[in-house]
Amino acid sequence: MSPSPTAAPEHPLRAFVRGHAENRPGVYRMYGPGDELLYVGKSIRIRTRLLSYFRAEPGEKAFELVRESTRIQWDHIPDEFGALVREMRLIQQHRPRYNVQHKRKRSYGFVKITREPAPRVVPASTVIEDGATYYGPFPRVGQVSRTIRDLAHVLGIRDCPGATPMYFADQLDIFGADRAPLCIRAELASCPAPCAGAIDAAGYMERVREAARFLEGRSRLPLHLLQEEMTTAAARLDFEYAAAVRDRLERLRRLQQELTAFRGEVESLRFVYRAEGHGGRDRLHLIRGGRIRASFDDPRSTREWRAAARTSEAVFGAVEPGPAGLSAHEAAEILLVARWFRLNPEEIRRTTAPERWRTEAVVGDELPVRGAAASASRGKLATPSAPVAQGRSVPA
């Protein structure tokens, strides 16, 4: 008689998940040898999602991920929206190699002012933590690339590779060398040649700051310069060149208009969002300018409501700086928040204008209105925010 077949031993990580994970919303992290973070994911049912990895077939990404993983950690998050935000922040911070959702190229673009000794103004199809400043998003990367080249030329900002050595005029005494420009733009007077000591660092940085002011809607100098150039070309009867300048002028004007429209849409993402939480305890997210400024459990006591009201006043009452570019994590978070409400339009009914929400806070010893009446009032107040989720500047 042949011996009875022996069952394959259970994967130790699977046994760990079965014994400890719960079917609640959360974010999980899978680590490999050397404690390398391989993958970050989120689910509204952590236990079920993690156990599904151990049923993957050879050749599937999940199978390879389990094969490389040496440990799994997870955090239970009170609500799905909070888990989504937490997942995005971890991916942006650590860039795990198995994650692709927040790495792949999108169908929108940004304008990026690099952080270099001689910064460049360049198009970008994604945002990363590199110290740069980002403006956007824009729906078509190709058009952004051409327009940004126009901006660089009119303001005299370099567009050579980032690794090009820079030698400002105030450095030549140190290096003691005469250097020739490395591209034809210097000869055409559309670049001040910071690579050859033709401009000092302060003069070049003023050009970069002017580009930032234009992108923030605080300057129209590039438009005025192109208008003058077009008028001059027409006066000397060079109509073909005047038409080319006119096209550049219109591209830059549209770019600034799109940025102004996007800033308006972002600013309208300003409300208190009551996300449905696990186990009947809702979670409040204070969203201003498209970013989550504070999060806490739905208050249940007078003391909790008073503390929540103070937090709301600090978040929504603080003076915000004027128009500016976005850091990588700010840009990513704004896009995620806008996309959440566009894909989940019913969630708009769970938002409340900050001023109205604070009137629901504790007055004397009474708790605010709860239940259907409060939900109805929230639905009415959320209506002005609804178009944000449908704005054309928000990517799919």
pLDDT (tens digit per residue) in 104-128: 544 567 899 999 999 999 988 777 7
- pLDDT-derived band at 222 (thresholds 50, 70, 90) equals very high
Instruction: Read off the pLDDT of each residue in 169-180 and give the average, rounded to a whole number.
Output: 64
Listed residue (220, 357, 364, 233) closest to 296, CA to CA? 357
Residue 394 lies in a domain: no
Of 345, 347, 349, the closest CA to residue 377 belongs to 349
- Mark whether 277 and 318 lie in a shared domain: yes
Instruction: For residues 287 and 247, state if they share a domain.
Output: no
Question: For 296-322, how does the pLDDT look when each residue is reduced to its tens digit (9 = 90+)?
Answer: 999 988 889 889 999 999 999 988 776
Mean per-residue pLDDT, 12-38: 94
Give yes or no for residue 327 having a pLDDT over 90. Answer: no
Better-predicted residue by pLDDT, 132 or 327:
132
**The one-letter amino acid at 65:** L
Residues 138, 173, single domain; the answer is yes
Residue 312, domain extent: 269-387
Is 1 contained in some domain? no
pLDDT at 322: 65
Contact 375, 349 (CB under 8 A): yes
Residue 350: what pLDDT?
94
Judge whether 286 and 272 are in contact, CB under 8 Å.
yes
Q: Please indicate, yes or no, if residue 141 is contained in any of the structural domains.
A: yes
Question: 167 in a domain, yes or no?
Answer: yes
Task: Give the mean model confidence (pLDDT) for residues 80-106.
Answer: 81
Question: What pLDDT does residue 382 have?
Answer: 34
Same domain for 209 and 240? yes
* Residue at 102 is within a domain: no
Whether residues 165 and 255 share a domain: the answer is: yes
Tell me how many domains the chain contains: 3
Look-up of token digits 């629901």 = 360
Mean pLDDT value across residues 388-396: 33
Domain stop point among 197, 232, 261: 261
Q: Are residues 255 and 317 in the same domain?
A: no
Let me know if residue 5 belongs to a domain. Answer: no
181 and 133 belong to one structural domain: yes
Q: Is residue 36 included in any domain, yes or no? A: yes
Q: How many CB atoms within 10 Å of residue 6?
A: 6
Residues 295 and 176 in one domain: no
How far apart CA 224 and CA 226 sit, in angstroms, is 5
Q: What share of the chain is helix, strand, coil (3-state, %, to 5)?
A: 50, 15, 35
Q: How confident is the model at residue 6 (pLDDT cuts 50, 70, 90)?
A: very low
CATH number of the domain within which 26 lies: 3.40.1440.10
CA–CA separation, 204 and 393 (whole Å): 31
The better pLDDT of the pair 15, 146 is held by 15
| DSSP annotation of 388 | G
Task: Please tell me whether residues 280 and 360 are part of one structural domain.
Answer: yes
**Average of per-residue pLDDT values in the chain:** 83
> Would you say residue 28 lies in a domain?
yes
* Alpha-carbon span 270 to 382, nearest angstrom: 10
Percent of the chain exceeding pLDDT 90 equals 50
Do 209 and 81 share a structural domain?
Answer: no
142 and 253: one domain?
Answer: yes
Residue 381 in this model has a pLDDT that exceeds 70? no
Average pLDDT over residues 132-156: 84
Say if residue 301 is in the same domain as residue 354: yes
C-alpha 115, offset from chain centre: 18
